[in-house]
Amino acid sequence: MQTAIIFDMDGTLFQTNLILEPALERTFEYLRQNNLWSGATPIEKYREIMGVPLNVVWKSLCPDHSDKIREKSNQYFQAALIEEIRKGNGALYDNVLPTLQSLSESYPLFIASNGETAYLQAIMSAYNLERWIKGCYSIDIIPSKNKSLLVERILKEHNIVSGFVVGDRASDINAAIDNNLIPIAVNFDFAQLEELKKAQHIVEQFPQLIDIVKTYRIQVLEG
C-alpha cells in the first residue's frame, strides 16, 4: 500500500504573486498595442480567480474576445511568466524546500497543477524540485480540465491508495475528497477561507505539514 502527498503549485509551493503582475501587465500592454484592450490591466480579477484552469481564466479576463485572441493572450502570458521565473523574480514560500526534503523521506511527493507544462517545468528547474518530487502533472493532460481527474490519474499511475492533497483553492480540496484523500489547505496569498472550509486541516506555515502528516502515520502504525 502506497501513501503519497500531492501538492498544488501556484499559491501553495510557489509565490506566483511575485511574477503575476509584471507578466499580466506585459500581456495586456501587448493587447493594448494591438488595439485589443483599453483601460487598466485586470490584475485584481485574476487574483480572484487564481487557481482555475487557464481557459476559464481567459474567458473571465477577456469575455468579449474570440477564442483565437484568448489563446494568443495566454501564449504571450505563459512566455512572460517563464521569463520572469528564469530571471529569478519568483520564489517558493518560506521553508518549502526543507519541508519537502523532510516529507520525501517517508512519502513519494507529486504535483498536480492547473498550470501549463512548460511553466511548471520552469519552476521545477529553477528550484531543482526534481530532488524530491516524483512527478509533476499539468491539467494539460486532462481534456475536461478537472483537477479531481488529474489527481485520480496520479493515483492510478503510481498505485497510490491513500494520502494527502495540499492546496489553496476549492479545486484542490475537492480533488482530495473526490479521491478519498485527506485535504490540507494552505492559507497563503490566493486562499479564500470560504473555499477551504471542507479541508481537514488549514496551515499558516508550510512546516506545519510535517506534524500533521506525522500524526496520521502514527495512527496507522498504532492501528
| Crossing angle for the helix pair 208-222 and 96-104, to the nearest 10 degrees | 20
The 10s digit of each residue's pLDDT in 93-147 is 999 999 999 999 999 999 999 999 999 999 999 999 999 999 999 999 999 999 9
CA 73/CA 34 separation, integer angstroms: 11
Lay out the sheet containing 2-7: strands in order across: 133-138, 109-113, 2-7, 160-167, 182-186, 201-203
pLDDT number for residue 72: 92
The 10s digit of each residue's pLDDT in 181-192 is 999 999 988 778
Listed residues 70, 86, 102: the one ending a domain: 86
pLDDT in tens, 9-67: 999 999 998 999 899 999 999 999 999 999 899 988 888 887 777 888 899 999 999 99
Domain boundary pick from 37, 70, 86: 86
Q: Are residues 109 and 79 in the same domain?
A: no
Give me the pLDDT at residue 218, please: 52
Cα radius of gyration rounded to whole Å, the chain: 18
Percent of the chain with pLDDT over 90: 80
Model confidence pLDDT, tens digit, residues 162-203: 999 999 999 999 999 999 999 999 998 877 888 888 999 999
Question: Residues 11, 120: one domain?
Answer: yes
For residues 29 and 63, state if they share a domain.
yes
pLDDT of residue 76: 94
Specify the higher pLDDT residue, 49 or 161. Answer: 161
Q: Encode pLDDT of 118-127 as tens digits.
A: 999 999 999 9
- 73-104 in b/e burial notation, b at 16+ Cβ within 10 A? bbebbbebbbebbeeeebbbbeebbebbebbe
What pLDDT band is residue 5 in, cutting at 50, 70 and 90?
A: very high
134 three-state secondary structure: strand
Question: Same structural domain for residues 26 and 97?
Answer: no
Q: What pLDDT is recorded for position 81?
A: 96
80 lies in the same domain as 148: no
Q: Quote the cell numbers at residue 177.
A: 475528497
Q: How large is the angle between the packed helices 147-157 and 170-178, nearest 10 degrees? A: 50
> To 5 degrees, how large is the angle CA 15–CA 116–CA 17?
20
219 pLDDT band (50/70/90 cuts)? Answer: low
Cell of 94: 518560506
Give the total number of structural domains in the chain: 2
Residues 10 and 107 placed together within one structural domain of the fold: yes
Are 73 and 95 in a shared domain?
no
Do residue 10 and residue 40 come from a single domain? no
In this structure, the answer to whether residues 98 and 199 fall within a common structural domain is yes
Q: Helical H runs in 34-95? A: 43-49, 54-61, 67-86
Domain of 82 in residue numbering reads as 17-86
Question: Does 150 share its domain with 192?
Answer: yes
CATH number at residue 116: 3.40.50.1000
Residues 128 and 215 in one domain: yes
Backbone angles phi, psi at 125, to 5 degrees: -70, -40
Q: What is the pLDDT of residue 175?
A: 97
**Whether 55 and 32 share a structural domain:** yes
Phi, psi at residue 90, to the nearest 5°? -95, -175
Q: Which of 57, 86, 115 is the last residue of a domain?
A: 86
